[in-house]
Amino acid sequence: MRRTELAPSILAALIAIGTSGAPQAAFAEPLTPEERTIRCEQIRDVAAENGISAGFLFAGIANAETSLSHCWSELTWACEGPESVDCGGPVVAGAGDGPCSLQQGGLGMFQFDGGTFEQTIERDGDGVLLLDGNVTRAVDFVVNMVIGSQYVEGVETAADAKAWMNQVTVDGPLWDAWIKTVTHYYNGCTPGGCSVYAQRYQHYSDNGSDVFYEQEAGFWELTLPPCANVPADGRMLEETDTCFTKGGPLSYWRVGIGGENNLHVWTSTTAQPEAVNFADWQLFFDEPGDYLLEVSLVAGSSKTASYTIDHAGKTDIVTVDQSTANGFVPLGTFDFDGGDFDGGEMQGVFLGDNTGEADGERLVADALRLTRVGGDPVGPGGGGSGAAAATGGSSAGGSAEGGAGGGPNDPDDGCSATAAGPKGSRAWLLLLVMLGFARRRRG
């Protein structure tokens, strides 16, 4: 089975595009200026947590899609989506894919559309119903979009894509390439293949520049936080922490409800010998010592999730049955060296999707908690509650060659790139697989 990615719902789901391509009068701004500022701040901050300082790029897309609306109560002429705790009711759903009773419109602020509501949640994760989860998923989608864009040069990895986006300025030298990328890959309207291409291009350009100047340039200026050291008494590293890497093709990651701050990420397992998708917590310590490592888990189904812990020149592997876990699960107490390790040996925790299980089990990554303890270090799995089992040994590095394992997005699941209104081309996803995004594990 292959895991595939579909484009979000087209703009027409929330803006009734007539035969002339002009937006109809139904489009209005449902949020007050103060609410729009708060919404822009949320988008900006989630983008920054994911390594992107140009949060206005995402706000521009959201402004074009839903005028920054996430909840149905903010756009009541559209369809009602599934319930969301962030809305106190349903999220907004697209109204351009047929009667609302069909439940086929895109979901939330960024209008993710994988078919029916159920199929979209299966493909993207129920976390898209939360505001932060919707933005997080948009970041992943857009990063992959930039990687595969024919209008962007010199971008091959997620890090390259983020660095490129961080250089984009409104009406600057990269602005045209950005708007062409959004119009083509997010909206599905291509030059020569879409009769209203010029209008769609201008719509995304206008909404991007409008939301930028609405909040003023200083609002969007921020410094991305570096990966911070673990202080002497320990600390928590969320899946949004700058010391955390959500590796591999981002289209294979989903966002889920639950866990620390009510949000986590997950991907499907694979029986391939090397990891394709992986979670990687990089660890730097103010002081050497022994630290208890615990991982937050919720709604996982992998029974052989293997955590590789690199510490003080040693490597241990701890296997966890995520299907029985709910809350923090101890991996054990390990000794770590102090220092920033510039050019030295890396320390951290690595979780790959190559669990050896049949494709499609849910592998969860959420917060990692480190607590300083006294006494001699305990081996892997020490101090555990039975949920973690030590396997010992060391794991070899290696990069995946070829595609990822299966998952819920099998091409035969009824979803189509052209179903429920125009959507983006799948051609860019094939490019992603060909590029081979699995990273070699450190060490």
3-state SS, one letter per residue, for 163-196:
HHHCCCCCCCCCHHHHHHHHHHHHCCCCCCCCCC
Considering the domain architecture, whether residues 303 and 157 belong to the same structural domain is answered as no
Residues 359 and 335: their CA atoms lie apart, in Å, by 34
Q: Residue 145 burial by CB count (10 A; 0-12/13-18/19+): exposed, middle or buried?
A: buried
> Does residue 410 form part of some domain?
no
| 291-322: pLDDT as tens digits | 999 999 999 999 999 999 999 999 999 999 99
Residues 213 and 264 in one domain: no
One domain for residues 210 and 257: no
Q: Which residues contact 336 (CB under 8 A, 6 or more apart)?
A: 230, 283, 285, 288, 289, 290, 291, 311, 312, 347
Q: Report the CATH number that the domain containing residue 300 is assigned in CATH.
A: 2.60.120.260
> Within this chain, do residues 281 and 323 fall inside the same structural domain, yes or no?
yes
Residue 172 counted as domain residue: yes
Is the four-CA dihedral 7, 9, 11, 12 of positive or negative sign?
positive
Q: Which domain holds residue 101?
A: 11-224+415-435
Structural domain includes residue 250? yes
pLDDT at 179: 98
369, part of any domain: yes
Whether residue 220 is found in the same domain as residue 275: no
Share of the chain above pLDDT 90, in %: 72
Residues 217 and 301 in one domain: no
Do the domain assignments include residue 429?
yes
Number of domains in the chain: 2
Residue 442 lies inside a defined structural domain of this protein:
no
The whole-angstrom separation of Cα 267 and Cα 98 is: 31
In terms of domains, do 274 and 341 share one? yes
Please indicate, yes or no, whether residues 282 and 145 belong to a single structural domain of this protein. Answer: no
Query: In which residue ranges of the chain is pLDDT below 70?
Result: 1-29, 340-345, 375-443
Q: Give the separation between CA 168 and CA 191, rounded to whole angstroms.
A: 22
Are 250 and 384 part of one and the same domain? yes
Q: 263 with 217, same domain?
A: no
| pLDDT score at 402 | 27
Residues 198 and 263 in one domain: no
Q: Let me know: does 365 contact 246? Beta carbons within 8 Å.
A: yes
The 10s digit of each residue's pLDDT in 200-259 is 999 999 999 999 999 999 999 998 888 999 999 999 999 989 899 999 999 899 999 999
**Per-residue confidence (pLDDT) for residue 340, from 0 to 100:** 67
Q: How far apart are CA 14 and CA 111, in angstroms?
A: 9
- pLDDT value of residue 225: 83
| pLDDT computed for residue 339 by the predictor | 78
Same domain for 239 and 296, yes or no, is yes
Domain assignment present for residue 336? The answer is: yes
For residue 121, tell me if it sits in a domain. Answer: yes
